[in-house]
Structure 1
Amino acid sequence: MTLPMTLKDKRILLIISGGIAAYKSLDLIRRLRERGARVIPLMTAGAQQFVTPLAVGALAAGHVYTDLFSREDEQDVGHIRLARDCDLVLVAPATADLMAKMANGLADDLASTVLLATDRPVLIAPAMNPRMWAHPATLRNAETLAGDGIGFVGPNAGEMAEGGEAGLGRMAEPLEIVAAVEAHIGGDGGKVSGPLAGRKAIVTSGPTHEPIDPVRYIANRSSGRQGHAIAAALAKLGADVTLVSGPVGIADPPGIRVVHVERAEEMLEAVLAGLPADIAVMVAAVADWRVATTAGEKIKKKPGEAPPPLQLAENPDILKTVGHHAQRPKLVVGFAAETQNLETNAREKLKRKGADLIVANDVSPGTGIMGGSRNSVRVVSKAGIDAWPDLSKEEVAERLAALIAERLAALS
């Protein structure tokens, strides 16, 4: 089968950093070249402990750059040439160490120097142990990089190379990374088109986890599938999308800036950091309450004693905050997951939260919507209620994105 040359003549500077996921870079090179890309590989010292420059160079059919002080490569200030003479800089895998260097402007080896010197789009595929990814320092660095305009693909959830470890931290698969590269620079040469071109959108997705102690939390039953699908559908119509995602077990949509958070307060902070925007779609199932005081150690069960009471505090109302904000987006869309009085509650929410649209769905036990692949919604506005048929969540996302584009065009 002949693949479409979606990346024909595109020059991809591939930076491979030191982690076990570096072995995936070999398949990634092959996939990129199948689509017509020219791959220029750059390997850190750590990467060379996992795969050899010989293997990388053979698959890339070219020279592998490894040393900042190479006499051969630096005769003409090679690191600056590498940083500029490409269409995209792709870092796969991106380790926690390299992300920290990028976020703080460090340049102590060839990879970090090139990343600091480049004026090209940068896309990274993080890969690390789940606890490393969840560490506040890493999340802080990821948020900084996203704010700097760095694109993310992944990380994904799953089993780690080390036995018994699982969670969010796996590097995205090569074909996912290729799709993200195509979204950045493929097809029309990276020019953004579509009815939402030039529009900025913020989407929230997934649940929030409100910690009780280091091992327990309060959460909602959300998979993030609907929010992630909406972010992808808006981007497909040309919008510049920032997705603020709670803890989910699904991959980030390719080519979309993603900010990963855990708690409702973190989600609100990330959303406000994304303003001003043209569109806000608040899909996340945010926990209404959090524990007033989180225990520093695991709360132990004691025989014969009642469980300690949990004193709850109300979480910030993200939709209401955005709907009444001084920098309120032109179009604010909220979601209402209800188990009773669906339309009445949705109408009240529309008015109370300052939204333009409320997408309401019945999540009563047995509907299978929370965590499932399909959705049945009613779109509530001041003009009335539009009941949509049962659809896949991707179809709901596409219809909603088209409706958003239509309404924004009417406001212009």
Structure 2
Amino acid sequence: MTHTFPAFIDGGLKFTPHYFTVPLDYQDPTKGSLQIFAREVTLAKDSAEKPWLVFFQGGPGFPSPRPNGNSGWLKRALQDYRVLLLDQRGTGNSSVISHQTLAHLSPSEQADYLSHFRADNIVRDAEFIRQAFGVTQWAILGQSFGGFCSLTYLSLFPDSLSRAYITGGVPSIERHPDDVYNATFKRTKEKNQEFFNQFPHAQSLCKKIANHLATNEVTLPNGQAFTVEQFQQIGINFGVSDTFLPTYYSLENAFIEVDGKPTLRYEFLNEMLAQQAFQTNPIYALLHESIYCQGFASSWSANRVRQLHDEFNYQPGDDCFYFTGEMVFPWMFEQYQCLKPLKSAANLLAEKANWGSLYNAEVLATNRVPVSCAVYADDMFVEMDISRETLAKIPNSKAWITNEYEHNGLRADGERILDKLIEMGDHIHCCQQ
């Protein structure tokens, strides 16, 4: 069933929906098709058409933003561009992937279907739209995983791009995910240490919660058993700004007494469930490791690397508790209610070795598109040194390396960050003349 929505005006902005039917597999159109949704945003008062800027959302597996007002990076973008907010395939209104929509497929069919939802096909969808619009070139803005998509676009269709702006999302174009997770586990440990240095009492609070979960049967409001490993995963929040204090508040109010016994509060448990985005956006868990794979299997990379960082494997009686970060693990498909039906497909994807290429090093080595990037020095998700290593191989690219922001810099101060990147892109272009 396909739903369509009308255009509307709100807060001085005009929002126009667009729908496209694209192949599931661009190499084999007989495999079926998908609906792709994208929302055009312009200033309502604009009379002349401006050039396009396409936004690639972070993730993988999350839809494009639903703006509420003319603010942040969108406000700056609309001065120069008309913006296209693309719901990447499988998200938002683009043939959404969930445990519901995959239920009719066998595990092998699920894995085969999901294998077509990586950056290469997200970029091919965008290129399909560019051609449908009759646009010669457009600019792209990629946040986090959207930056990975941007380098794929620069690899596959460089002539289609006028500018590339990337924030917190310059990946390695050749490294194994083991290298990535070794770096991010170390960053995650540093963030834990910062948090517990600021809130020393939080360490005892975390151990109290973890020990309670290890020795009691606790269920979340959806009936799912709540475990130490799940509790540790709220550490993903430490990769974005202004999350230490809210996390401490949550820990502080975790327990109440019922019949004289300590019990985890319903409010706390409900908050823990609300933070489990894997339930509603399973692409993140299913395909997260594959975003690094080109011709090899991930083989549950983060889980293997975790064993080299045993401090993250908490047991009652341990001296220190550590939260984990942006990693996925095989046990998630045994514990999370909405991931359980996808366990077999997840294992097939983890062992899939014949992934195609996401980047073309030879094309990137001759890049002519101005590429301006915000690289965050303390990024818990995308390692600065790896980003710098990649950009050193891409001519006409420039990095603004800053410790003013965490990974969510574009959301926290997008107007300033995009203004800086646009200025950098213009400078690169002028130097080419």
TM-score, normalized by the shorter chain, greater than 0.5: no
Task: Please report the TM-score for the alignment, with normalisation by the length of structure 1.
Answer: 0.34
**Larger helix percent:** 2
**Larger strand percent:** 1
Larger RCO, structures 1/2 (Cα 8 Å, 6+ apart): 2
